[in-house]
């Protein structure tokens, strides 16, 4: 649970002279990680040509890497454009699940944010920087927050001085080298460039003060107006597990008033976190009773079912069979060693914080020699640490797409799935959510037909007369559904609108049983819609996916036969992305 175990090497991307890779390093894996980090630093999307310039790789190499990552579901390609896909978060999820701290402490951080009415974060050390592992955001017009996975220079933060109290002489030497090599902090794209040397000059003093006081302040070191207060969360043996910070703005607090007003409550919350760590049961070892039977292949299929192309990853030969099929389909465009190397990361997770080489090979189905080379490469890049025979994931795994993807909304996640659905069914589609007696359109795509259904995003219509509304109301718990039916006002919007509460109640029961709703000519004459539910990780229905069309395009039974399977397939793929994204992140609607 502590971030000090096996400190990773300096980040090659930030080192003045990048370390020479070991002879056994897997070059395609290094290139793939470089492309993923290039996309991350670009905000999640870039052209393939831009990625070539950013990484120094030949365009042909970038094309092959991107094709492989797309096959894995980690990147989406649209012509010469590449964008990170939600499934990539499986890599960061593996690290956060193995770390356990977000699962154990995030509830306390969220409660503290509510009590203080300020944003609260948890951060761990990553080399001579800090990386965020949890964010509890107070949403205002002027919102102060970082993204989970963002890397910041330790000297310009509140957590940095506390984490630096445990630095080794090697850490300090790396830090001084970085000051000379990157005086403007250009290697930290999450923050503005450094404009003065005050943070650097005062940092050793701030570290000693943090050691004596047990807390530290950031007084506008990152950017003007931002102030933060931090206290270390320690394990029972006294090591720093992470640092909790309250973040505010000078319009609400000065650095001194932030300390005076919030420090007692921050310390109380940290004490509760430390009690949580003290009573937490030890993590299961790989041979423990909760270990899934059989190895697990790439892309974290233990976390969420994915597209059909990934289902073959289950079982001892799953990864080998999948990579072989991918190689046959894509030929030279598929880089087997890249796919296998990233698979090694997904071997780790909850109850699997430490794994031996043999255990990584067993869980992934990789040959032992292949797993060894992958782990050597990941260790060289700082994504894995080793102590004795035990390997662990390092915070740097979060640099592989997690920051931009952690800010994804449900509408952002849903868009590519609705685009594909619209192309397949040649009709308009939408994503809707329930708001009291209405459904609100969160996302709408038209099919480009001469007579098309165009529902503007943000528009609201009565839930009782729509397929999306009926799916969403039918999914409510029985008591809430009964209250909704008792209060909703049913009006005849067309001659076919259902207006009798008993009739609507029977329809909702049928929708609940069928798993879909079809509405013909009830909201508007000539308008037909079909909808299915979208469920979150806990199985709660959070939205509905719809297809809209003119009711004269065929019989309703034919629509059910043709459209409902397409809707269900879309909901399944959307849910897979949503479940991966929301493992450690709250996903808002928009």
110: Cβ contacts below 8 Å, ≥ 6 apart: 120, 136
Q: Is 550 helix (H, G, I), strand (E, B) or coil?
A: strand
Closest CA to 163 of 126, 112, 137: 126
Domain spanning 101-279: CATH 3.30.450.40: yes
> 296 pairs with which residues across the strands?
314
Per residue in 14-47, pLDDT tens? 665 567 889 999 999 999 999 999 999 999 999 9
Angstrom distance (rounded) from CA 292 to CA 304: 14
Torsion of CA 546, 552, 555, 556, to 10 degrees: 30
**Which of the residue ranges 383-387, 444-448, 545-549 would you say has the lowest mean pLDDT?**
444-448
pLDDT higher than threshold 90 for residue 301? no
Distance CA 576, CA 241 (A): 31
**In the predicted model, what is the mean pLDDT of the chain?**
90
Q: Report the distance separating Cα 132 and Cα 191, nearest Å.
A: 13
Residues 166-204 have pLDDT tens digits of: 999 999 999 999 999 999 999 999 999 998 888 889 999
For residue 37, what pLDDT is reported? 96
Helical ranges in 293-335 per DSSP H: 318-330
* Cα dihedral 172, 173, 179, 185 sign: negative
CA dist., res. 52 & res. 400, Å (int): 17
3-state secondary structure 429-477: EEEEEEECCEEEEEEEECCCCCCCCCCCCCCEEEHHHCHHHHHHHHCCC
Which one of 15-19, 201-205, 297-301, 302-306 scores highest in mean pLDDT?
201-205
| Percent of the chain residues topping a pLDDT of 90 | 79
In this structure, of 244-253, 306-315, 335-344, 345-354, the range with the lowest mean pLDDT score is: 306-315
Instruction: Determine the pLDDT at residue 142.
Output: 59
Alpha-carbon gap, residue 122 to 553, rounded angstroms: 54
Considering only 249-263, 295-309, 465-479, which range has the smallest mean pLDDT? 295-309
Residues 244-271 pLDDT 10s: 999 999 989 999 999 999 999 999 999 9
Give residue 455's pLDDT band: very low, low, confident or very high (50, 70, 90): confident
Q: Provide the CATH topology of domain 27-88+293-405.
A: Arc Repressor Mutant, subunit A (1.10.10)
Helix axes 410-425, 556-581, angle to 10 degrees: 150
Q: 101-279 and 410-581: same fold?
A: yes
Give the rounded distance of the alpha carbon of 86 from its chain centre: 7
Domain residues of the chain, as ranges? 27-88+293-405, 101-279, 410-581
Q: What phi and psi values does residue 82 have, to the nearest 5 degrees? A: -125, 145
Helix (H) or strand (E) holding 518: strand 517-520
Q: Which residues contact 263 (CB under 8 A, 6 or more apart)?
A: 215, 229, 231
291-320 as b/e: b if 16+ CB within 10 A: eeeebbbbbbbbbbebeeebebbbeeebbb
Q: Is the pLDDT higher at 546 or at 17?
A: 546
Stretch 382-387: mean pLDDT: 96
| Separation of alpha carbons 43 and 38, rounded Å | 9
Whether the predicted pLDDT of 124 surpasses 90: yes
- Tell if the pTM clears 0.85, that is, is over it: yes
- At 117 the three-state DSSP class reads coil
Asked if residue 392 lies in contact with residue 384, where contact means CB atoms within 8 angstroms, the answer is yes
Q: How far is CA 236 from CA 108, 268, 394, in A?
A: 18, 16, 21
Is the model's pLDDT at 290 over the cut of 50? no
Short-list 405, 406, 124, 395, CA closest to 245? 124
pLDDT value for 13:
63
Topology (CATH level 3) of domain 410-581: Beta-Lactamase (3.30.450)
CB atoms inside a 10 Å sphere around CB 504: 19
CA distances from 422 to 308, 447, 547, 559 (A): 20, 6, 8, 15
């Amino acid at each position: 649970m502590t971030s000090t175990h096996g400190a990773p090497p300096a980040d090659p991307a930030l080192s003045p002279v990048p370390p020479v890779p070991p002879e056994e390093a897997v070059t395609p894996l290094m290139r793939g990680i470089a492309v993923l980090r290039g996309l991350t630093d670009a905000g999640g999307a870039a052209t393939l040509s831009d990625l070539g310039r950013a990484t120094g790789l030949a365009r042909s190499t970038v094309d092959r890497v991107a094709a492989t990552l797309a096959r894995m579901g980690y990147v989406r390609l649209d012509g010469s454009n590449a964008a990170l896909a939600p499934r990539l978060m499986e890599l960061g999820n593996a690290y956060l699940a193995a770390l356990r701290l977000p699962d154990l402490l995030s509830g306390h951080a969220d409660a503290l944010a509510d009590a203080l009415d300020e944003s609260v974060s948890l951060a761990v050390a990553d080399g001579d920087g800090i990386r965020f592992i949890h964010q509890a955001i107070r949403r205002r017009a002027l919102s102060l927050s970082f993204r989970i996975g963002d890397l910041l220079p330790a000297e310009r933060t509140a957590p940095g001085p506390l984490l630096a109290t445990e630095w080794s002489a090697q850490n300090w030497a790396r830090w001084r080298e970085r000051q000379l090599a990157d005086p403007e902090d250009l290697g930290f794209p999450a923050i503005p460039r450094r404009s003065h040397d005050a943070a650097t000059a005062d940092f050793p003093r701030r570290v000693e003060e943090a050691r004596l006081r047990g807390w530290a302040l950031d007084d506008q070191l990152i950017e003007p107006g931002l102030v933060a207060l931090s206290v270390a969360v320690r394990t029972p043996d006294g090591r720093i597990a992470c640092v909790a910070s309250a973040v505010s703005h000078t319009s609400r607090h000065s650095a001194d008033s932030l300390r005076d007003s919030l420090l007692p409550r921050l310390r109380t919350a940290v004490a509760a976190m430390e009690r949580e760590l003290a009573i937490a049961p030890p993590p299961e070892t790989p041979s423990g009773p909760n270990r899934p039977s059989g190895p697990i292949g790439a892309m974290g299929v233990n976390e969420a079912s994915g597209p059909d192309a990934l289902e073959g990853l289950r079982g001892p030969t799953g990864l080998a069979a999948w990579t072989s099929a991918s190689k046959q389909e894509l030929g030279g465009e598929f880089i087997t060693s890249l796919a296998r190397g990233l698979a090694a990361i997904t071997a780790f997770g909850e109850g699997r914080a430490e794994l031996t080489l043999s255990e990584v090979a067993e869980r992934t189905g990789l040959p032992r020699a292949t797993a060894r080379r992958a782990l050597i490469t990941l260790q060289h890049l700082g994504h894995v640490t080793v102590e004795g025979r035990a390997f662990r994931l390092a915070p740097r795994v979060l640099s592989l797409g997690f920051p931009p993807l952690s800010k994804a909304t449900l509408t952002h996640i849903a868009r590519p799935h609705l685009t594909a659905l619209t192309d397949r069914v040649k009709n308009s589609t939408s994503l809707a959510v329930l708001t009291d007696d209405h459904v609100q359109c969160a996302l709408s795509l038209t099919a480009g037909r001469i007579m098309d259904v165009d529902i503007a995003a943000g528009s609201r219509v009565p839930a009782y007369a729509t397929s999306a509304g009926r799916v969403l109301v039918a999914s409510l718990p029985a008591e809430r559904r009964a209250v909704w039916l008792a209060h909703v006002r049913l009006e005849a919007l067309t001659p076919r609108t259902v207006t009798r509460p008993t009739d609507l109640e029977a329809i909702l029961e049928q929708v609940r049983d069928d798993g879909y709703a079809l509405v013909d000519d009830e909201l508007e004459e000539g308008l037909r819609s079909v909808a299915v539910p979208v469920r979150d990780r806990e199985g709660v229905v959070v939205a509905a996916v719809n297809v809209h069309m003119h009711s004269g395009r065929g019989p309703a039974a034919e629509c059910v036969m043709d459209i409902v399977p397409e809707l269900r397939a879309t909901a399944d793929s959307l849910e897979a992305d949503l479940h991966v994204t929301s493992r450690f992140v709250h996903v808002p609607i928009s």
